[in-house]
Chains A and B, each alone.
Chain A
Amino acid sequence: MTALRYEARLALAIAAKDARAEMRGRQAVVSTLFFAAVVLLLFGFALGPDRARLAEAAPGLLWLALVFAGVLAVSRLHLIETDDGALEQLALYPVPRRAIYAGKALAGLAVMAVLGLVVLGAVAVLFGTSIGSAIVPLLATLMLGVVGIAAVGTFYAGLTVRLRAREVMLPLLMLPILAPLLLGAVKATAAALAGDPFGELGAWLQLLVAFDVIMLTAGLATYGYLLEDG
């Protein structure tokens, strides 16, 4: 088996393990979904009831909810590893660190993708945005955005899982990094919903792609350093 196939197999095994443990145990997906729903509800109270204003703010609210819920989701996925010292054991296996990062990021992506679809639907309902023909660019934006959140989040969750005050350090470290992703995703979403009147959608999507590629590379390269010296 070539090295790449081997690493891919490892990453899939890790992602599968995370998915399985998550589904049986902590119900992270469900509780994170509810959190996102509550956030949207509060947005409605804070900015409503003017439907026009809510509809205009909808792309921003969508991505804010996803980013905040995303912090929770990636945090939960790394909490699996605090079961009886599982992270230390994971670090001792003779496997490339890249594969561990890839596996955990993949699991994070799966959770975020589910989250994204649900939140998109909720926003459409709550804030009166009509999706209609914009479904393809919207889904593309959604996927690119959640890849970025998963890539950055997995990395910082791994960093903070063994840290004191990790509940506040994770968002504090993660959120400033996500600023350009947030900007790009919101702009792309708004453009897609409006039918891309200025032709800017392509540029914003490119920004998202660049962000994702850069952050995934950084994560793959440096996750190993996080695992050492427990």
Chain B
Amino acid sequence: MPRTTIYVSPRSLGSHDQRPPAVVTTDLARLFAGRPALAGVSLTVEPGRAIALLGPNGAGKTTLLRILSTALRPSYGSGQVDGLDLGRDVDAIRPRIAYLSHATGLYDDLTARENLAFAATMLATPDAEVRVDRALEDVGLIGRRRDLVRTFSAGMRKRLALARILLGEASLVLLDEPMAALDDEAMSLVQQLLGAWREVGVTVLVAAHSIERLESHLDGRVIMERGLVTAVAGNGVTSHAPAPLVAGHPLTVTR
């Protein structure tokens, strides 16, 4: 069972007014093999908020999260995280972001603890050993710490990936369909996490098909369809329509 309090390392992010918007995108677009996965998304997300990205498959939620995580470059448009540019300041942005994708990025032939220990070294987590064990406890996997990830169910892998996020000090957490493979028991884990992150002032973007269990933990919602934002609701997030795009010299249109 997950514990009742999750350890999220405190971070000095400044008060709400002092911080730049967590995310600003301007006309963000991305094509894959000529097909637009994002067709011009302009969003502004206030710091410290929890925002849901809703929409059917193919809406562009994953693509948007991947671009914000710096794993993918946009085809057009620009974006800033904490005021830093996604194109130019990638190295400065990476320590501030934690990303849970569909793929968990775990090594099958390592144990749960070894996976986290490796992540702790990469993230330069202080007191690594203590933090790793604490994170394992918090997600309810301490009993399986010596088992190879190869033996884990999809839900357990997701939980381990969430544990990895706890080792870092991200100010922006991007979760791509975190509930997709989770068992009931661990649903409350995500709710607890959202609560813990809010207390510390971390901004959270959650992509999902629907948000039934999470409504009370969210500040705002963005509805996406076919690569565009169709509606915005709640607090903490605004959007505007994309500006017209003009073909110019190849690849010199705004990037």
Contact = CB atoms under 8 A, between A and B. Distances in A.
A9 interface: yes
A13 B104 contact: no
Interface stretch (A17-25, A59-67, A104-112): A17-25
A93 interface: yes
A84 to B, nearest CB: 5
B108 A13 contact: no
A164 to B, nearest CB: 13
B109 A92 contact: no
B109 A25 contact: yes
B73 interface: yes
B69 interface: yes
Contact of A21 (B91, B99, B107): B107
Interface of A is mostly: helix
Interface stretch (B14-22, B41-49, B117-125, B200-208): B117-125
Contact of B105 (A10, A13, A85): A85
A37 interface: no
Contacts of A20: 109-110, 114
17 contacts: A20-B110, A22-B109, A25-B150, A83-B108, A83-B109, A84-B103, A84-B105, A85-B102, A85-B103, A85-B104, A86-B107, A89-B105, A93-B94, A93-B123, A94-B91, A94-B123, A230-B71
User: In which size bucket is the chain A interface?
Assistant: 20 to 34
Nearest to A230: B71
A21 B110 contact: yes
A87 to B, nearest CB: 8
A91 interface: yes
Given A9-B121, A92-B94, A86 B106 contact: yes
Interface residues of B, number: 29
Interface in B147-195: 148, 150, 157
Interface of B: 69-73, 91, 94-95, 97, 99, 101-110, 114, 118-119, 121-123, 148, 150, 157
B234 to A, nearest CB: 29
Contacts of B102: 85
Contact of A92 (B70, B106, B114): B70
Contacts of A50: none
B73 A17 contact: no
A228 B93 CA distance: 14
Interface in A205-230: 228-230
A25 B232 CA distance: 47
B105 A229 contact: no
A93 B108 CA distance: 19
A38 interface: no
